[in-house]
Structure 1
């Protein structure tokens, strides 16, 4: 399709020879009255075209019963294309487009057509560009155009990726390295994002067979049905925008996979929205950063099992592998469960990072330089405390810029992208005390107030002192605080699973987190075995023994912080939570009595069943 003069007939005949499908020139089906009208320089009306379009639709339906056909037809308006589609099970529009100047130049050279060049302007004015057509520029040769059409329609990809940022590019390379035929798309923004996919394809040998697009319709048509399309775009409105663009072009049974850090409630909303079109939507958490996405990330899929059956082999193939060689990817549950699990992963990550930052802070206050602190962390990393985040911290501490350590040049303001906030909000909504995640989140918020902290140091700070503690106590305190953090994270997952009826397998989640992800560690490998028990982590026999052996160290570190006016929110909260969860008789009875006093909220008693309310006002003396 396209305006007169774009070469529809030439391309159609060449494509017919390539595919062995019959070719028909739509112009041959015009009634004689139409041809005479155009030859006299008068454009056709919609009424003139009606019988012509019907004849072409009848032709297409007849050929569909055989093996299909190629038809050249201007099809300039959307309502024309709707008429051409009637009763057809599958139709592809290929829009040949070019500038007015280029097409006019070609038409002037044409001598064997009834349509005069003077009518070209009216055709451009009539043209309503299709949103769902394969669109190719006539600046390419007819042979190149045919090659592109054939490649898109007759040599389809297995899997598509939208969004070629750092993570999207790494996942594309991972898929290609594992032998999958992929299509890649990145939007075209003039002077900002141009030829991103094409340039990326040419940069890596493994992408030689991949298809690269900056036209989303061509991208969609290049993928075999049912299509599997992963979105690697920023969470929020960007995801909704892409979905709105995709939805009209998708078929029933296609699967959209959101691989970003979307909120689980947004994932559920999108799932419901797309279900109306019988299109599947999956929320899939992906952890591991740029390197993990390339070499094997931890993948947390949620959504309909029917959809997972379509995409599971791709996700499991590119995922990291656990100690037994099993993919660190497994179907987790329905709705937004995959993104919820990733959210909690990130919450645990927040507290893990904060604990390491606090340990670094204490050691720095003892006047240890980054190399000396790195040596402490290296010793820890050789044993039970081994983790990716500890290894990351060692790399950072050892990095120099000239003769200076780079860490000393970094401003002490930590940013966040929202997942720690979402975890804290969900924890509060479910009534589950993920207090260490919340403390880590608010520690980042406090860090952002740099100017206020500088003023506070002058007005409110005490004299600087060198804290006196042993490395062994710090190590023990860190070990115990990490276990408490993981306990809280898994208890939150347990509460969500029960509340949303997701039936999450905590043991499998821990296993998925043993490799590829940011919180992978030796501890997680232990948890992947112990999570088979129904007991909370803190009540497991091994954990009880750990608490008894290391609590004194945690208490000692917190005492040092208090005595020296040092802020250690996560270490302190770990001890506070541990004391709270191991206190059988708390002061909450007074709080409940206060609630009943001013709000008649009632209370329960230890000596009687039921709910009670009391008039708490004492009789006047």
Structure 2
């Protein structure tokens, strides 16, 4: 949607018609849509006031929206004030491009006087210059240029240049490039050049896929930046940490005020806030977005969690929402999360929940295997669970269990040392910093850490006796109930961490919207998450919801039995066990913390409060 703006007499109509003919798209002259009263007023040398323009501007906005459902178009309109432009681009901001034809008062005054049959007399020109507010978003073009040069400039800056840039062509970066291209966006792609190591990465990638035929490929930063429409929108898909800072410094000399950098990696939310603040001093916008879905999600539609300046987000909203997954109502699994690094924060929590979901399935696999099931049997069991416990991770674990290599199942050949990339660690540290008991995330993380110690585990196994004859007195349906019980506790803890952060940092996060964008595209999508979308519309604590309360009360007896049997038979189930311990703890009205307070007061005079004293006064006792 191209709006050509400027005072009367600057040549908007002429340029608009020529541009529409060149691009083969419709042309509309805003003056043709004025009301009769407006035309009469201007013909009588009376300047229009804001009230006169309201209906006219809304009419043009409706026209633009209607045309965008069909194709692009060119509309010429004076649009002298920012609030006029806001009305014209209402709900289509990210799809709108502005061209301002600018010239001096004398230059345009002379043009008007020699132009016949125009309804606005030259005497009103000064009133237009008086209210003119130059748009920072518009492409500024001097009307001294020939019409041919003006058209060429518009095409070079707004049409021929790429709409969006992606910096870094790793696995996720490449998949996102193909996603953008498949959705019809003209993109520029960049990957660094390292002699003998990384050469022609972008060009070779472009030649490999037909959908990238219109994309531009670069290994030179100045050329890459220059290829993008302003304000430039560049998504960084490089490793989190110092690499992001190095890339920012490399890009800064080539950026312009108002350009937008988007960090699509798993960055720490604190560092995202620092980068937002730093780039604000450079007049550059920085948006941190969580992206979940892995390689397949990045290609076919991920869940996207953006945060930062809301006005900057609106300029990239169309791109991110278009490439994202869609929920059951066909809405994008992408929503503006909040300010600062809140997008990366909830991606961190997402990954913490993901750690637990994976650990729970691993523990359940071990239990079912102990019950005598081979991996294919486990897969069959998981298939029967999908009706009541459907999730992406359950689906892929079912597939994993069926995979054979030769005569044996592949899972039996995989070394039992689990890796991690840091987000589970950050989630655990953040929980401690905020004072939130995210015990399941910590349990899942530390289970991975224990797995690292393979050699020590083999050594210590010889030193400690374990039960040899395993007699698990449990049924498969009890294992399912235990799994469902623990998953509810996991989701309670994850969203509780989000609530506490939202309150502490004044982010005003919408839990229902966060749950909604996690219903598709992301790793933790599930039927439980879909239920939470509605539950979070009325509460921020799922343990107060009657449906959740009934389910936990229904599942808990089986969970207690399964975990007890695992303990008696030396089967390692830390996350399943912790789910029960946590619910017991969070629902206990009077805990053993009184002993801890007494101990603290004894050795450190830390004082304590009394249950028989409502004044909240601190007390100290000489215990000897």
TM-score by length of 2: 0.74
The answer to whether the 8 Å contact 1:295/1:320 transfers is: yes
| 1:442 aligned to which of 435, 443, 446 | 446
**Other-structure match for 2:398:** 394
> Is 1:301 aligned to 2:303, yes or no?
no
**Other-structure match for 2:514:** 509
The answer to whether the 8 Å contact 2:606/2:620 transfers is: no
> Is 1:171 aligned to 2:176, yes or no?
yes
> Is 1:224 aligned to 2:253, yes or no?
no
The answer to whether the 8 Å contact 1:384/1:523 transfers is: no
Q: Distance in 2 between matches of 1:400 and 1:154?
A: 52
Q: Distance in 1 between matches of 2:445 and 2:402?
A: 26
| 1:485 aligned to which of 490, 502, 526 | 490
In the TM superposition, what whole-angstrom CA distance separates every residue of 1:456-508 from its partner, at most 9, and x where no partner exists?
Answer: 21111313332332101100000010000000000000000000110000000
- Count, aligned residues: 475
The answer to whether the 8 Å contact 1:175/1:318 transfers is: yes
Spell out the pairing of 1:527-546 with structure 2 (5 A cutoff): 527-546=532-551
Q: Distance in 1 between matches of 2:192 and 2:320?
A: 24
Moved over 6 A (4+): 150-154
Q: Distance in 2 between matches of 1:378 and 1:90?
A: 57
| 1:270 aligned to which of 271, 275, 280 | 275
Shift of 1:153: 9.3
**Other-structure match for 2:523:** 518
In the TM superposition, what whole-angstrom CA distance separates every residue of 1:490-529 from its partner, at most 9, and x where no partner exists?
Answer: 0000000000110000000000000000000000000011
The answer to whether the 8 Å contact 2:440/2:578 transfers is: yes
Larger CA Rg, structure 1 vs 2? 1
The answer to whether the 8 Å contact 2:485/2:555 transfers is: yes
| 2:413 aligned to which of 409, 413, 424 | 409
Shift of 1:237: 1.1
Shift of 1:90: 11
The answer to whether the 8 Å contact 1:153/1:221 transfers is: no
Q: Distance in 2 between matches of 1:509 and 1:153?
A: 34
Spell out the pairing of 1:86-485 with structure 2 (5 A cutoff): 155-381=160-386, 383-466=387-470, 467-485=472-490
**Other-structure match for 1:554:** 559
Q: Over aligned residues, Cα RMSD in angstroms?
A: 1.9
Q: Distance in 2 between matches of 1:341 and 1:203?
A: 35
SS state at 2:389 partner: coil
The answer to whether the 8 Å contact 1:299/1:328 transfers is: yes
> Residue 249 and residue 443 in structure 1: after superposition, are their counterparts in 2 closer, same or farther (change >3 A)?
same
Q: Distance in 2 between matches of 1:65 and 1:471?
A: 79
Task: Name the stretch that deviates more: 153-162 or 221-230.
Answer: 153-162
In the TM superposition, what whole-angstrom CA distance separates every residue of 1:102-159 from its partner, at most 9, and x where no partner exists?
Answer: xxxxxxxxxxxxxxxxxxxxxxxxxxxxxxxxxxxxxxxxxxxxxxxx9799721000
The answer to whether the 8 Å contact 1:152/1:218 transfers is: no
> Residue 535 and residue 255 in structure 1: after superposition, are their counterparts in 2 closer, same or farther (change >3 A)?
closer
The answer to whether the 8 Å contact 2:499/2:540 transfers is: no
In the TM superposition, what whole-angstrom CA distance separates every residue of 1:209-244 from its partner, at most 9, and x where no partner exists?
Answer: 000001111000000000000000111111111001
**Other-structure match for 1:578:** 583
Task: Name the stretch that deviates more: 268-277 or 486-495.
Answer: 268-277
SS state at 1:575 partner: helix
Q: Distance in 2 between matches of 1:256 and 1:550?
A: 47
SS state at 1:459 partner: coil
> Residue 465 and residue 252 in structure 1: after superposition, are their counterparts in 2 closer, same or farther (change >3 A)?
farther
Q: Distance in 1 between matches of 2:223 and 2:558?
A: 62
**Other-structure match for 2:12:** none
The answer to whether the 8 Å contact 2:439/2:578 transfers is: yes
**Other-structure match for 1:8:** none
Shift of 1:610: 2.2
Q: Distance in 2 between matches of 1:614 and 1:174?
A: 64
Q: Distance in 1 between matches of 2:609 and 2:220?
A: 65
**Other-structure match for 1:47:** none
**Other-structure match for 2:616:** 610
The answer to whether the 8 Å contact 2:305/2:334 transfers is: yes
Q: Distance in 2 between matches of 1:90 and 1:326?
A: 32
Q: Distance in 2 between matches of 1:449 and 1:296?
A: 37
**Other-structure match for 1:112:** none
**Other-structure match for 2:505:** 500
The answer to whether the 8 Å contact 2:511/2:540 transfers is: no
Q: Distance in 2 between matches of 1:583 and 1:380?
A: 31
**Other-structure match for 1:96:** none
Q: Distance in 1 between matches of 2:550 and 2:158?
A: 63
Shift of 1:65: 8.7
SS state at 1:283 partner: strand
**Other-structure match for 2:25:** none
**Gaps in structure 1 of 5+ consecutive residues:** 1-63, 67-88, 92-149
